[in-house]
Amino acid sequence: MTDLHDLYQELILDHGRRPRNFGRLQEANRSAEGYNPLCGDKVKVYVKLDDDVVKDVRFEGSGCAISTASASIMTETLKGKTRAEAEDLFETFHDLVTGKAPKLDAPDLGKLEVFSGVSEFPIRVKCATLSWHTLRAALKGNGDVVSTE
Amino acid sequence: MKALGKTADVAQASVCSSGDVQTEVCATFDVEKIREDFPILKESVHGKPLIYLDNAATSQKPRAVIEATTHYYSADNSNIHRGVHALSERATKEYEEVRVKAQRFINAAHPHEIIFVRGTTEAINLVMNSYGRANVGAGDEVLITTMEHHSNIVPWQILSEEKRARLRVAPINDEGELIWEEFEKSLNERTKIVAVAHVANSLGTINPVREIIEAAHRRGVPVLIDGAQAAPHLKIDVQQLGCDFYTLSGHKLFGPTGIGVLYGKTALLETMPPYEGGGDMIASVTFEKTTYNVLPHKFEAGTPNIAGTIALGAALDYVNEIGLDRIASYEHELLAYGSEALSRIPGLRLIGTAKEKASVLSFVIEGIHPHDIGTILDREGIAIRTGHHCAMPVMDRFGVPATSRASLAFYNTKEEIDALVAGIYKAKEVFHS
């Protein structure tokens, strides 16, 4: 049970049940859709990018507790970050959920640390990273649907 | 294991009453003895005994099947239908014997009506490519149902787009049953083929295939039955059904992956153009003209999955030895027990509650996504499938993004269903649901 509680920490359950920044962002100037064809999880990420800074970010979609909580905490973490900072966060977050040691100059993940348990569940890495891949697409602004496959 | 004796008695009473020759097998449905035949059932997962409830995805293999594969490669391996040497002769004989076993298994009229393919997906694609391309034209219709697996949707979609034909879909009700009136209404003079699952993989619904075939035949429309999910659970008699095509997948039938059967009526197969070109499917080849081989070889180009076919033969023998009547009877009891047990869990909704069902318990639980249930059950050693089960239109029909699906085989027990229920309660505990 221990590793299950490592995965499903209270913060994750809370954000999974009551996702923050959920719903369309009217003033968004960037957005992208993400999809995991294996499980059917869908997410759409909206970003208001101003002077290379994420002024606001919201998401909508449906998915498991891990993917919903990941998207929710991601939106909380990103506000006020530059594109480069967002990219660094994603890399560090990706290292965390895939069980790699953080790089020396890695940024502080804050609340995102709660996803460390995912590394014990390799099959769920895609759940935790779907919203981040989608965010990256939104920031690049190529408008394609992102797939985990 | 005290509940088992009771289950076995029920199974026995309904099928072994009238002078069954298999008296020894029929003495009891000894599930513990059957489990001994499946080495994998002794495995542990995350320190817990494996409880395998993902049989609709693929079934486990009895020792006889594993040994048949090893024996073939250790003693008989060679190519078939060509060598004059002893090994080739042996391999050919064994390979062709399985054709006869498969013929008997589904009671086809002739061995040459059995075409070996990779599985149901290839079988349907073969019919679509060969029969479909030759017989479906602009304005024609192909009729399927909402509850089809993607493998019985996408090939027909490809064909319909190519031929500018229309893919019609007969709807289902809230229980997951075909709405008969709608199905009948969808059949018309433009319908060129009907393709329907015998048992729906995501819902477990057993379709009234006999009535479907009769209704289609009254209009002269041939029918393909996707039997991937039916063959492991129900006795199939293609002559009694009267279907024109029937498909099955070896790996769902306790055999290896990569081998399956397409049954087709001789008259249809004779008129159909080849599906793939290559060796073995020809009678003679010159650069000017090739003459095709006779049935079934016309549809079996190239070196086939010889080892897989021979191992499939072992699987058919194994299933026959237990008897599909007894399997169906035991599983019916197990399914009723499971449906009842799951229905009692607060917040759980069964998806697919048809009166006629086989093997499948698909469900959703309020407040817990199927993937999270799947992960938590996995830590309990319980393997189920979560997701859309390659039947996205079914998920849309029931308004859910995904379901959890437990699917049963004859080696499962009531105790395993009890463990599933306990695992679901554990998930509810983790999620405070």
Asked if residue B60 belongs to a domain, the reply is no
Kindly give the interhelix angle for A83-97 and A125-140, rounded to the nearest 10 degrees. 160
Coil, strand or helix at B197: strand
**Same domain for B407 and B312:** no
Contacts of B379 in chain A (CB under 8 A): 1, 3-4
Tell if the CB–CB gap between B375 and A41 is shorter than 8 Å. Answer: no
Mutate to test the interface with B, among A3, A17, A64, A148 (most CBs of B within 10 A): A64
Residue B231: give its domain's CATH number: 3.40.640.10
pLDDT at A38: 76
Single residue among B298, B320, B342 that ends a domain in this structure? B320
Residue A76: CB atoms within 10 A of its CB come to 14
Let me know if residue B101 belongs to a domain: yes
| Interface check A24 vs B, CB under 8 A | no
Cβ-based contacts of B386 with chain A (< 8 Å)? 39
Q: Which residues of chain B have pLDDT under 50?
A: 1-27
In a domain, B61, yes or no: no
User: Do B70 and B39 reside in the same domain of the chain?
Assistant: no
**What is the Cα B202 distance to its own chain's centre?**
12
Among B258, B285, B320, where does a domain finish? B320
Chain A CB contacts of B422 under 8 Å are none
Q: Show Cβ contacts of residue B190 under 8 Å, excluding neighbours closer than 6 positions.
A: B139, B140, B141, B166
Angle at B156 between CA A38 and CA B122, to 5 degrees: 70
Structure tokens at B147: 């509850």
Contacts of B246 (CB under 8 A, 6+ apart): B106, B224, B225, B227, B236, B238, B261, B262, B263
**Residue B406 contacts by C-beta under 8 Å, 6 or more apart in sequence?**
B53, B54, B338, B360, B361, B363, B384, B417, B420
Cis omega (within 30 of 0) for bond into B296: yes
Q: For residue A40, what pLDDT is reported? A: 77
State the ipTM, two decimals.
Answer: 0.90
Q: If you measure CA to CA, which chain A residue comes closest to B372? A: A64
In this structure, are B138 and B171 located in the same domain?
Answer: yes
Please check whether residue B176 lies inside any domain of the structure.
yes
Q: Do B168 and B300 fall into the same domain?
A: yes
Phi, psi of B95 (to 5 degrees): -60, -50
Antiparallel, parallel or unpaired: β A41-50 and A30-36:
antiparallel
- Separation in Å, CA of A127 to nearest CA in chain B: 9
For residue A142, the model assigns a pLDDT of 58
**Domain assignment present for B166:** yes
| Mutation choice for B interface testing from A4, A7, A124, A127 by most B CBs within 10 A | A4
The residue range of the domain holding B336 is: 2-53+323-430
Predicted pLDDT of residue A148: 67
Q: Does A11 touch chain B (CB under 8 A)?
A: no
Identity (one letter) of the amino acid at A65? A
- B432 and A13 in contact by Cβ < 8 A? yes
- What is the number of domains present in chain B? 2
Residue tagged 């003079």 (tokens)? B189
Closest CA to B319 of B235, B405, B194: B235
Q: How far apart are CA B56 and CA B76, in angstroms?
A: 32
Q: Of B367, B375, B387, which has the smallest distance from its Cβ to A40's Cβ?
A: B387
Dist. CA A43–CA A126, nearest whole Å:
12
Do B83 and B214 share a structural domain? yes
Instruction: Tell me: do B304 and B328 sit in the same domain.
Output: no
For residue B58, is it within any domain? no
Q: Is the dihedral of CA B98, B101, B107, B112 positive or negative?
A: positive
Minimum Cα–Cα distance from B380: chain A residue? A1
Based on the fold, state whether residues B314 and B330 are members of the same structural domain: no
* Nearest residue in B to A4, CA atom: B376
B112 and B222 in a single domain? The answer is yes
Tell if the CB–CB gap between A13 and B387 is shorter than 8 Å.
Answer: no
CB-based contacts of B128: which residues, under 8 Å, 6+ apart? B155, B156, B158, B159
Q: Are B119 and B259 in contact (CB under 8 A)?
A: yes
Task: Enumerate domains of chain A plus CATH numbers.
Answer: 2-147 (3.90.1010.10)
pLDDT by residue, tens only, chain A of 149 residues: 468 989 999 999 999 999 999 999 999 999 999 998 777 789 999 999 999 999 999 999 999 999 999 999 999 999 999 999 999 999 999 999 999 999 989 999 999 999 999 999 999 999 999 999 999 999 987 556 677 66
B262 within domain boundaries: yes
Residues B71 and B145 in one domain: yes
A52: number of Cβ within 10 Å: 11
Q: What is the CATH number of the domain that holds B377?
A: 3.90.1150.10
Please list every residue in chain A whose beta carbon sits closer than 8 Å to the beta carbon of residue B376: 4
Q: Each residue of A114-123: pLDDT tens digit?
A: 999 999 999 9
What global pTM score does this model have?
A: 0.91
Among B320, B346, B364, which residue terminates a domain? B320
Burial of B306 (0-12, 13-18, 19+ CB in 10 A): buried
Beta strands across the sheet bearing B166-170: B114-117, B260-264, B245-249, B223-226, B191-197, B141-145, B166-170
Sign (positive or negative) of CA dihedral B306, B308, B309, B314 = positive
Cβ of residue A65 closer than 8 Å to a chain B Cβ: yes
Q: Report the gap between the CA of A65 and the closest CA in chain B (Å).
A: 7
Residue numbers of B annotated as active site: 390
Q: Are strands A41-50 and B403-407 parallel, antiparallel or unpaired?
A: unpaired
For the beta carbon of residue B75, count every other beta carbon within 10 angstroms: 10
Name the one residue in this structure whose structure tokens are 């399927």.
B144
Q: What is the SS3 assignment for A39-104?
A: CCEEEEEEEEEECCEEEEEEEEEECCHHHHHHHHHHHHHHCCCEHHHHHHHHHHHHHHHCCCCCCC
Given its phi and psi angles, is residue B367 left (phi above 0), alpha (psi -120 to 50 degrees) or beta?
A: left
Question: Helices A65-78 and A125-140, interaxial angle, to 10°?
Answer: 40
Does residue B86 sit in the same domain as residue B43?
Answer: no
Distance CA B159, CA B127 (A): 11
Whether residues B338 and B296 fall in one domain = no
**Could you give phi then psi for residue A46, rounded to 5 degrees?**
-110, 135
- Residues in Cβ contact with B410 at an 8 Å cutoff, skipping those fewer than 6 apart: B31, B34, B322, B327, B330, B331
Interface of B with A (CB under 8 A): 367-372, 375-376, 379, 386-388, 392, 395, 401-402, 430-432
How far is C-alpha B339 from the geometric centre of its chain's CA atoms? Answer: 21
